[in-house]
Structure 1
Amino acid sequence: METINNIIYGFEVALSWQNILYAFLGVFIGTIIGMLPGLGPISAIAIMIPLSYGMQPASALICMAGVYYGAIFGGSTSSILLNAPGVAGTVATAFDGYPLAKKGKAGKALAIAAIASFSGGTFSVVALMLVAPSMAKLAITFGPIEYFALMLLGLTAISSLSEGSTLKAFISATLGMMVATIGIDPQTGTQRFTFGTPYLYEGIDFLIIALGLFALAEVTSLIIHRHERPTYEKKEMGSLRLDKTEVKEISGPIARHSILGFLIGVLPGAGATIASFIAYLTEKRIAKDPTSFGEGNLKGLAAPETANNAATGGAFVPLLTLGIPGSGTTAVLLGALLVVGVQPGPLMIVEHPDVFWGVIASMYLGNLFLLILNLPLIPFLARILFIPRPLLISFILLFCIIGVYAVSFNTFDLYLLLAFGVVGYLMRLFHFPAAPFILAFILGGMMEQSLRQALTISNGNLLTLFSSPIANALFILATLSLFLPLMRKKRGPTIGPQQDVKM
């Protein structure tokens, strides 16, 4: 009964005309930012902190939270239409979203993304309202050992991202982990693979790699094959309407990954990016037709879009109830809360109930605004497909250059962008999947940090990795995830002789 009263109080705060306006403003700005690589929700929220001076704490956080989940919601647009992920959490969206657009189904892809995003975001708000305190207790049971096991589970699922060749997928992942180690070692201060270049001391930004391997590689392919007219590429928007079969097809992934995304979002350090990748891998693993993933599978689009938006709601659990930021964006939000005089943590519900419950209620309102904003805009957004190819190539190049340069104002990053564009094209040419590279780059740094923390605590005793029941369960799942697909592929060649030569 107390929870219901708190939720009603939250809606009373969120439904004041000022907070309705701030929620709408936040999600609108977030949507625009999500479509444009470079800024991202972190930069946008940081810029908005000075604007929050003089605002009520609840109003300030409602607006900035709207920017956060609005950016994740809007980031799918550039992923689907241009194969240029707007934010890190929408990289997996491009795997099946972009092929759908190339087949003349851009309208349907954008509609599925909007529906999946709304469903995942709404579920996470409801879950946040009902189980935030309990989920916070679960989150703090995950230490370095459990995080290492979770990251290992993510890496062993790389074979699911292979486009025919598990060996090539693991080579791609190895390269991704190598790139993740570039920079100054945070524990010892040692330079690693910097080649004496100060520009590499802080490592390579994720945006450079994502835009290079996907967007710039796509541009290079368009330029080289400019005289070819592939039969699968259609200059059509397609219908936004989903038939009963398609609704039934995406309803399962949406239901599954609303829960999975929220749970992953609750874990500090996980966030929308990891949630979207794990959702995609899981959906592909359990699918009856895994070979259709990467070719425009509706489930492959719905799963990551649901999970990344559900994870944004989950990320507020450790932030509001424990004062622990789960990602770079929530770390900036933590700073914003402190600026307006609110200390997140166990006492926040008692000391600032208007902020706690008002923000949670406003997220439901914000997700509704996002759906209303995005669905009518789909026909206009999809007009990007009708831009002539030379102009589209110039547009994507400009898009990438401005996005990368806006992050660091460093021309060296533009050379890195070009280098990863070449690498991305060569990977396409020799059929090395780019997705394992990206996943290993994301997980590699966190995996190394968790392993070193665990070994530091235990004075270098490797047996400490097997001291946690949760970690042991994850290790078993990782082993099964690694060997079962390999055993399946060994039995596969008996189906047809041509499979014997596929590496």
Structure 2
Amino acid sequence: MEIVEGSRRSRQEESGRDQGERPRVGHDAPPGAGDPRAGDVGSVGIDPISGYQRFTFGLLTLSEGINFIPVAMGLFGIGEVLASTEESAKRQVLKTALAGLLPTKDDWIRARGALVRGSFLGFLIGALPGGGAIIASFASYAVEKRISKHPEKFGRGAIEGVAGPEAANNAAASGAFIPLFTLGLPSNAATAMIFAALLLHGLRPGPLLFTANPDLVWGVIASMYIGNLMLLALNLPLIGIFVQMLRVPYPVLAPLIVLFCLVGAYSVNNSVVDVWVLISFGILGYFSRKLRFDAAPLILALILGPIMENSLRQSLIASRGDFSVFFGRPISAALLAAALALVLLPALRWGVGLWARRAAVGTRVALP
């Protein structure tokens, strides 16, 4: 079977001898570094505690906050298209069998760790109230990129960067049923719909659901296995159709991507403001790619920022402004220590690595 394989060679790749001219801002930055004000994007809208509007600039559309969809499409859709316009593309036709499109033995070996880590991480995040497949996918991608020995390959087809987030995405969908069935707490929009459907049928999700309606619970669990098998049976034969997208010339494909992104952003709230948000974050995504900064933490900040702010303020209101509530008990102190370790240890590791690299070339610098 003939397929088209797009092999893109950017100006930097064509002039591989000029590596010193490539922007290395993000390369020399600690993991997860970026604008510390990026999390402020999640604070746009009505204050959930006081009811005041924040950073809305008089626009009613922004009173509900900045939607995740235009931001994600701008960073990873428009930004990718803008960056790709600077690259010279050479598309060549290769002949290969359908079996050549499937993961090889080496791919499975390289992806097995990412599959296990993504499955556990996605299941845990999905089981948390407020978690979901989106958070799990981006968290898994960030973890895999951070622990990888070759993080520069992420975004260029690294199998770990595909296997981990996909495993986390699927595991989070299953884990979301745990708080729904055990506590009666829907963790995302999909489980909220299921929660409402169960209530309409006179069923009350909670601890008693397992004893009162065990057939329903085990039927849902069985449907997960059946659904995955059906997806496997449908997707494998359709690979040959999916790869035909590579036959579309990129000068034709790029405007279509931009068009679909614009239509998708506008359809969220039928607002032009979302289109401007898409364009703004598309430009930001372009410069993030040029400077080699990872845009995924911004998505996580947009999703988790409002949740963290609400939890912080509710805790302070309950404790009457006493910050000792966050470290006065063993569980909260352990969670806070783990969070600080996740932030400080990668930066410390980056600093030691930077010092070692500079010491190797005779330029010894002291860590701040």
Alignment TM class, shorter chain as reference: 0.7 to 0.9
Aligned to 1:183: 45
C-alpha distance 340-402 of structure 1, shift in aligned 2 (>3 A): farther
Q: How does 1:337-486 map to 2 (within 5 A)?
A: 337-486=198-347
- Look up the match of 1:317: 178
Following TM superposition, by how much is the alpha carbon of 1:322 offset from its aligned partner in structure 2, in angstroms? 1.6
Secondary structure of 1:495 counterpart: helix
Distance change >3 Å, CA 500–CA 198, structure 1 → 2: farther
- 1:276 alignment partner in structure 2: 137
Residues 189-198 or 244-253, more deviating: 244-253
Matched, 1:200 2:62: yes
Aligned partners of 2:307 and 2:364: how far apart in 1?
37
Q: Distance in 2 between matches of 1:234 and 1:457?
A: 64
Q: Is the 8 A contact 2:31 2:350 kept in 1?
A: no
Displacement after TM superposition at 1:202 (Å): 0.4
- Say which SS state the counterpart of residue 185 (structure 2) adopts: coil
CA distance in 1, matches of 2:295, 2:221: 37
Q: 1:281 to 1:393 in 2, by over 3 A?
A: closer
Report how far residue 103 of structure 1 moved.
Answer: 5.2
Partners of 1:450 and 1:236 in 2: CA distance: 54
2:14 aligned residue: none
CA spacing shift, 1:474–1:168, aligned 2, 3 Å: closer
Determine the C-alpha separation between the residues in 2 that align with 1:314 and 1:407.
Answer: 27
Matched letter for residue 45 of structure 2: G
Which amino acid in the other structure matches residue 88 of structure 2? R
Work out the number of aligned pairs and report it.
339
Percent identity of the aligned residues?
45
Give distance in 1, aligned partners of 2:107 and 2:203: 45
- Deviations along 1:243-272, one digit per CA (max 9) or x if unpaired, are 322211112221233222212211111121
Distance 2:31 2:127 in 1: 33
Q: Gaps (5+ residues) in structure 2?
A: 9-24
Q: Using a 3 Å threshold, how does the CA distance of structure 1 residues 286 and 431 change in structure 2: closer, same or farther?
A: closer
1:229 aligns with 2:88: yes
Structure (1 or 2) with the larger CA radius of gyration: 2
Contact 1:268 1:325 in 2 (8 A): yes
**How far apart are the structure 1 equivalents of 2:31 and 2:115?**
30
2:33 pairs with 1:170 = yes
TM-score, L = length of structure 1: 0.62
Question: Which deviates the most, 364-373 or 267-276?
Answer: 267-276
C-alpha contact 2:44 2:62 (8 A) present in aligned 1: yes
The structure that is strand-richer by fraction is 2
The DSSP-based 3-state class of the residue aligned with 2:101 is coil
Structure 1: distance between partners of 2:148 and 2:81: 31
**Residues 38-437 of structure 1: pairs in structure 2 closer than 5 A:** 163-166=26-29, 169-172=32-35, 174-223=36-85, 225=86, 228-229=87-88, 239-437=100-298
TM-score (norm 2): 0.83
Q: Give the match's secondary structure for 1:170.
A: coil
Please give the alpha-carbon distance, in whole angstroms, between the structure 1 residues aligned to 2:40 and 2:166: 28
Cα distance between partner residues in 1 of 2:95 and 2:215:
44
Q: For residue 88 of structure 2, give the secondary structure of its aligned residue in structure 1.
A: coil
Q: CA deviation at 1:371?
A: 1.0
Contact (CA 8 Å) 1:250, 1:299: kept in 2 or not? yes
* 8 A contact 2:81–2:254 mirrored in 1: yes
Question: Deviation above 4 Å: which 4+ runs of structure 1?
Answer: 101-104, 233-238, 496-501
CA drift at 1:499: 9.8
Distance in 2, Cα, partners of 1:498 & 1:429: 29
8 A Cα contact 2:198 2:204, kept in partner? yes
Report SS of the residue matched to 2:38. Answer: helix
Contact 1:176–1:438 under 8 Å retained in 2: no
Gaps of 5+ in 1: 1-100, 105-161
How big is the shift at 1:395?
Answer: 1.4
With over 3 angstroms needed to count, the CA separation of the structure-2 counterparts of 1:388 and 1:230, relative to structure 1, is closer
2 CA distance for matches of 1:333 and 1:366?
A: 16
